Amino acid sequence: MHPITRQLHHNITQKGSYVCVGLDPDIKALPIHLPRSIDGVNSFLNTIIENTADLAIAYKANISFFESMGLEGLKLLSTLRNVIPRSIPLIIDGKRGDIGNTSRHQAAFLFDHMGADASTVNPYMGIDALSPFFDYKDKLHFVLVLTSNPGAADFERLTLSTGKTLSEAVLAKCTEWQRQFGNLGCVVGATQSELPQLRSQDQSLPYLIPGVGAQGGSYTDAVRDGINQNGVVIVNVGRSILYASAESNFGSAAKAALQLTVQLPKGPVQQVIPA
């Protein structure tokens, strides 16, 4: 098991949670008492992390929310690894992947400067676009397989001449790459009915599952259908925790929303975690 996957497994067993908290700050959506500024966002994120770290198995920061705030936003992102407890992996969601020389620079930015423990990458351009990420052996890399958005139907669900869908073909390639590199995971959306079928195709790769909460996906179903043979699944929950309250109690409201989420699965779901 990869060291970061092992840490995720440890967090799951210790916390009884599969939740990765999405850190996607929007200045316009900050609680009403906070200033609409970088300082306000910084205060907001620090409070969210402080109130959710006891149950979060990971955090996922979507880089675009920080990029939209300009250089100050990226500087703020670069501080998060020092704010989040070291035992909790930080996934920077950038969906990167370009020609090899470009990808090398993309990977260096995320890992050497932003402090990411894991990334999300787009497989569309193939292995030469992804290997610069996989070459960061101590990091984990989640390949987009079947995303949670409605537009996934445009390409990811297309049936190929082999009879497989494109998402199934990407997953098969991920299984192959995992044997070579050993540091892959996959992104499969909680809103997609194919989740159990994809899980049955490969029982080992860890899944990062977005789409729970505001997008309508079920945490219980995501855990049941997405967990791998080692008892690991990372279920991202963003807006329903992050913006649980627009008032000054937003920190405690986020904590309560996270607690409510992890209480949802009962019985057999918890039993699949190895001792």
- Active-site residues, by number, are 95
What is the distance in angstroms between the CA of the first residue and the CA of the last residue of the chain?
Answer: 15
Of the candidates 156, 102, 79, 178, the one whose C-alpha atom is nearest the C-alpha of residue 92 is 79
**Spatial separation of the C-alpha atoms in residues 9 and 238, rounded to whole Å:** 21
Alpha helices in the chain (DSSP H): 3-15, 38-52, 63-67, 71-83, 100-108, 127-134, 152-155, 166-181, 195-201, 219-226, 239-242, 250-262, 268-271
Find the radius of gyration of the CA atoms of the chain. Answer: 18
- Whole-angstrom CA distances from 53 to 10, 228, 262 are 14, 23, 13
Q: Cβ distance 87 to 116 under 8 Å?
A: no
Helix (H, G, I), strand (E, B) or coil at 21: strand
- Whole-angstrom CA distances from 187 to 46, 66, 210, 229, 255 are 27, 21, 8, 17, 25
30 dihedral zone (left: phi>0; alpha: psi -120 to 50; beta): beta
Of the candidates 272, 121, 96, 97, the one whose C-alpha atom is nearest the C-alpha of residue 187 is 121
